[in-house]
A and B are shown apart, each in its own frame.
Chain A
Amino acid sequence: MIKYILSPKGIILLAFAGAVIAVSVLMAWSELGFSGTLPDWLTDLTTRIGLHGLISESFNNLKPGLGGDLTKFLEGKGVSVNPKSTASLGDYGYILFMGIALVIAGIAIMIIGKEDAEEKTVIPVKK
């Protein structure tokens, strides 16, 4: 198992897994409306385990850059939401990051699943 993880294929897969997780975190961030505000339970939890500063910091760092860009792009496309409702522009960001995560995951599965000698079958010798 460890040998597999340290092989080139395993390292590529770890990189893909990391990418999928990173993009999936962006899904949560989008769902919260591209802002740094975390729900209470998450703030509570992250404070307890000492990660609160890290997470809200990174969310806030994303907010003026990526969040602003995404908002501007969507508004430029004529998307608007009812401010009285719970819908948000972040829904669209959520779906974008979900799409990207699925692409990365799909490629990763293809790398794991592809057989080495696809165009050639050597029949194993029976004992």
Chain B
Amino acid sequence: MQKIVDNHPLKAFNSLTLMLENITNKVMTSKYNPFYYHGALPQYYLWVLYLSGLLLFAYYIPTIDNAYFSKNLVNAWTSVDYITKSLPFGGVIRGIHRYAGDAMVITIFLHAIRVWFTDRYRQYRWLQWVSGIILAIFVLFIGQTGYYLVWDERSLLLTRMTAGAFEAIPFIGSGLKTWFLNGDQITNLTLSNFLFIHIGLSFFLLFGLWVHYLRMTRPVMTPPPAVNYILTAFVLICVFLFPINSGQMADLNTQPNAFEIDWFFLFPYALLSQMPVGAYWAVMVLGTVAITALPWIMIPKQPAIETAEVVLNKCTGCSLCYKDCPYQAIEMVPAPAGSRFKLLATVKDFRCSGCGVCVGACAFDAIDLPDLPDAEVNAKIKALLEAKG
């Protein structure tokens, strides 16, 4: 029985996390400790983004130049300007949409760092880790398309940088660029494509979350209301302290070359501006592959999990272990012919974490961890008590 409890490579970070959470517990008690809802925090911000985005969508016009209004130019930039300056609470809603996005990236980062530091990403959790990486990449991309949509000078520069980066990919590059711009160059159709990517992919996030929650019994999806209040307040106060202003309207005949950077979403562009395109893609792809492979490469020789085993002649098919298993690793199957009971528990080894919750759930000693059967525990209790008495 060689378990990685105290000797995994990130032990120091694990202690740091626990120490930090201990302090948070002293202040707000474990019931309201936001670290204990780290996965639910980005999910909450996702709902905020959907709602504020819906209100912005009602007034947004995804064109560069709307021919029907050519006398009085109506385009993406002016519609955003109208939202910001003329709609009651428009500027505020725009600010909420922006900062809730930033907050989502921060909370996703915290979530990932915590599961990594506390060693909760390996083996039976690989699906959560990999789907989480994919979700995070999509969140970043969706956020970046949001920056293209406002169609100020920064949007134009970002669009050109992205198109250039896509074009540099061998074989599929020109196709990707055409897909991205919805044509060979920036036209009215480009922005409708951006709007589709922005909204369409954000609904794909729901599908991704479904995968992320697979194998999780009772996933924690909602922080307690008091935490939600504070999360909302964080965004609202940012909206006041750092109000959003658009830059100059984009002009296709100009070549803007500098912009204010939002480090939460636009850090890849900082990288892209500093190195050749080929090197940029190499860094991005290798970085992603390395992070995705962490569950397998972080600890070279991971001891195999001692999965739970059902004692066939004792199982009564009561389903208590099936209900309590935190990883949906137990399945109730019809009992073999001749059994007195209707159902029989079976363990799916590839999902089992070897935690023993099923042992605690069983009133009939019918499920065991091979390295610590409950008969052995009871014998140990007896031995310890007899040693002195």
Q: Which residues does A use to contact B, with CB under 8 Å?
A: 74, 77-82, 84-88, 91-96, 98-100, 102-103, 105-107, 109-110, 113-115, 118-119
Interface membership of B230, Cβ < 8 A: yes
Smallest CB separation, A84 vs chain B (Å): 8
A115 smallest CB distance to B (angstroms): 7
Q: Given A92-B91, A92-B92: A98 and B86 within 8 A (CB)?
A: no
Which chain B positions have C-beta within 8 A of A99?
A: 232-237, 239-240
- What is the predominant secondary structure among interface residues of chain A facing chain B? helix
Q: Which residues from B are CB-within-8-Å of A82?
A: 85-86
Interface size on B, residues (CB 8 A): 33
Most buried by B among A92, A106, A114, A115: A106
Q: For A114, what are the chain B residues with a Cβ–Cβ distance below 8 Å? A: 28-29, 31-32
User: Hey, which chain B residues are within 8 Å of A84, CB to CB?
Assistant: 86
- B242 near A77 with CB under 8 A, answer yes
* B242-286 vs A, Cβ < 8 Å mask (1 yes, 0 no): 110100000000000000000000000000000000000000000
User: Counting CB contacts under 8 A, is B87 at the interface?
Assistant: yes
B242 and chain A: residue at smallest CB distance: A77
- In the assembled complex, which residues on chain B have CB atoms less than 8 Å from the CB atom of A86? 88
Residue contact A113 to B245, C-beta cutoff 8 Å: no
Complex CA–CA separation, A54 to B218 (angstroms)? 53
Q: A81-B85, A87-B87, A113-B226 are in contact. Are A103 and B243 (CB under 8 A)?
A: no
Bound form: Cα–Cα A106–B28 in Å: 11
From B25, B92, B96, residue with most partner A Cβ within 10 Å: B92
Please pick, from A77, A94, A118, the residue contacting B243 in the complex, using a CB distance under 8 A: A77
Q: Is the CB of B237 within 8 A of A87?
A: no
Distance from A42 Cβ to chain B, minimum over Cβ atoms (Å): 18
Question: B339 contacts the other chain (Cβ, under 8 Å)?
Answer: no
CA of A105 to CA of B96, assembled, Å: 20
Contacts of B85 in A (CB 8 A): 80-82, 85, 87
A107 to B28 Cα, complex, angstroms: 9
Q: Is the CB of B91 within 8 A of A91?
A: yes
B324-381 contacts to A, CB under 8 A, are: none
Query: Most A CB atoms within 10 A — which of B30, B32, B90?
Result: B32
A79 with B245: in contact, given A87-B87, A105-B229, A109-B225 (CB under 8 Å)?
yes
Contacts of B242 in A (CB 8 A): 77
Select one of A78, A80, A106 contacting B229, CB under 8 A.
Answer: A106
- Nearest residue, chain B, Cβ from A116: B29
When distances are taken between beta carbons in the complex, the residues of chain A under 8 Å from B227 are 106
B89 on interface, CB distance cutoff 8 Å:
yes
The verdict on A106 contacting B243 (CB below 8 Å), with A98-B236, A113-B31, A115-B29 known, is no
- Per-position binary interface string of chain B over residues 90-103, scored 1 when its CB falls under 8 Å from any chain A CB and 0 otherwise: 11100110000000
18 contacts between A and B (CB under 8 A): A85-B86, A87-B88, A91-B89, A91-B92, A93-B240, A95-B96, A95-B240, A99-B239, A102-B229, A102-B230, A102-B232, A102-B233, A103-B229, A106-B230, A109-B226, A110-B32, A113-B224, A119-B25
B175-187 toward A: CB 8 Å interface, digit per residue (1/0)? 0000000000000
CB distance from B232 to the nearest CB of A (A): 6
The distance in angstroms between the C-alpha atoms of A77 and B237, with both chains bound, is 14
Least Cβ distance of B95 to chain A in Å? 8
Shortest beta-carbon distance from B9 to chain A in Å: 29
Q: Contacts of B232 on A, CB cut-off 8 Å?
A: 99, 102
CB-CB nearest in chain B for A99 = B236
Of all chain B residues, the one with the shortest Cβ separation from A103 is B233
- Contact present for B87 and A85 (CB under 8 Å): yes
Neighbouring B residues of A92 by C-beta, 8 Å = 91-92, 239-240, 243
A110 and B236 contact, Cβ closer than 8 Å, known pairs A77-B242, A87-B91, A91-B89: no
Q: Are B86 and A118 in contact (CB under 8 A)?
A: no
Asked if B233 and A106 sit within 8 Å, CB to CB, the answer is: yes
Question: Is the Cβ of A100 less than 8 Å from the Cβ of B237?
Answer: yes
B87 to A: closest C-beta gap in Å: 6
* Chain B residue nearest to A112 in the complex (CB): B226
Whether B92 lies near A95 (C-beta < 8 A) is yes
Contact assessment for B243 and A78 in the assembled complex, using a CB-CB cutoff below 8 Å: yes
Chain B nearest CB, measured from A88 CB (Å): 8
Q: Find out whether the CB atom of B88 lies under 8 angstroms from the CB atom of A91.
A: yes
| CB-based contact B28/A118 at 8 Å | no
